[in-house]
């Protein structure tokens, strides 16, 4: 079902005039990973570009033996170690499934083959990357301009089930606060509702 879901997502969000659905299907693969599956370790080369139908994925970095959460990706979002995937160089970040995750993935060589076999896919990949850049820029700006309390609200709006899926320390890291500060914010927000 993931391929059909992915195809419908593309049709709803991009100009798919000229899309060769058979060619696309031949180059992408459906995936399903269990919770805690490591999709990428820091230092490896990212071989896949993913689209999530269901689930939550977390990217992280390790500095001074401390794990720092970089981002969370949910249903209807693309993710990868973008720099590593595009340039096929070792990455700084890791990618782990925070819940069971299913969707579509395309390998680097399959993407190159797809782009060479049909120029339309160059246009589609440009549209996808433009959408990604705009979404990430807007998200970064929203977090940058907000207080910790406001960031807590933002992450719970964009990822409604995050507090039941991801560990508190990972959410706190992403929000840029300590565990105890995150607990205090969470407690305060729960009392308000």
User: What does the pLDDT look like over 103-131, one tens digit per residue?
Assistant: 999 999 999 999 888 888 988 988 999 99
What pLDDT, on a 0 to 100 scale, did the predictor assign at position 193?
65
Contact predicate 93/30, CB 8 Å: no
Per-residue pLDDT for 18 more than 70? yes
Q: How far apart are CA 93 and CA 147, in angstroms?
A: 26
Domain membership of residue 191 (yes or no) is no
Q: How far apart are CA 66 and CA 62, in angstroms?
A: 5
Domain membership of residue 143 (yes or no) is no
Domain membership of residue 80 (yes or no) is yes
**Each residue of 55-96: pLDDT tens digit?**
999 999 998 888 999 999 999 999 999 999 999 999 999 999
Q: How far apart are CA 78 and CA 25, in angstroms?
A: 17
What is the residue-wise DSSP string for 85-127?
A: HHHT-B-SEEEEESS-EEEEEEEHHHHHHHHHH-THHHHHHHH
Domain membership of residue 29 (yes or no) is yes
Domain membership of residue 50 (yes or no) is yes
Cβ-based neighbours of 58, under 8 Å, separated by 6 or more = 69, 71, 72, 73, 95, 96, 97, 98, 166, 170
| pTM, rounded to two decimals | 0.91
Domain membership of residue 178 (yes or no) is no
CATH number at 75 reads 2.60.120.10
How many domains does the structure of the chain reveal? Answer: 1
Domain membership of residue 64 (yes or no) is yes
Domain ranges, residue 57:
2-119
Token pair, residue 146, equals 């907000």
Domain membership of residue 170 (yes or no) is no
Across 160-189, average pLDDT: 89
């Amino acid at each position: 079902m993931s391929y059909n879901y992915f195809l419908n997502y593309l049709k709803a969000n991009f100009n798919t005039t000229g899309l060769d659905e058979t060619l696309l299907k031949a180059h992408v693969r459906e995936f399903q990973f269990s919770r805690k599956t490591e999709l990428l370790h820091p230092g490896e080369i990212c071989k896949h570009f993913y689209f999530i139908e269901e689930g939550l994925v977390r990217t992280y970095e390790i500095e001074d033996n401390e794990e720092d959460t970089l981002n969370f990706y949910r249903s209807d979002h693309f993710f990868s170690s973008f720099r590593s995937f595009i340039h096929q160089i070792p990455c700084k970040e890791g990618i782990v499934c925070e819940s069971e995750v299913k969707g579509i993935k395309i390998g680097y060589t399959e993407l190159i083959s797809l782009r060479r076999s049909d120029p339309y896919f160059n246009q589609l990949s440009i549209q996808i990357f433009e959408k990604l850049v705009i979404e990430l820029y807007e998200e970064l700006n929203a977090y940058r301009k907000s207080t910790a309390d406001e960031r807590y609200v933002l992450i719970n709006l964009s990822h409604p089930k995050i507090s039941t899926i991801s560990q508190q320390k990972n959410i706190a890291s992403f929000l840029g606060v300590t565990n105890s500060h995150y607990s205090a914010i969470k407690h305060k927000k729960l009392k308000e509702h």
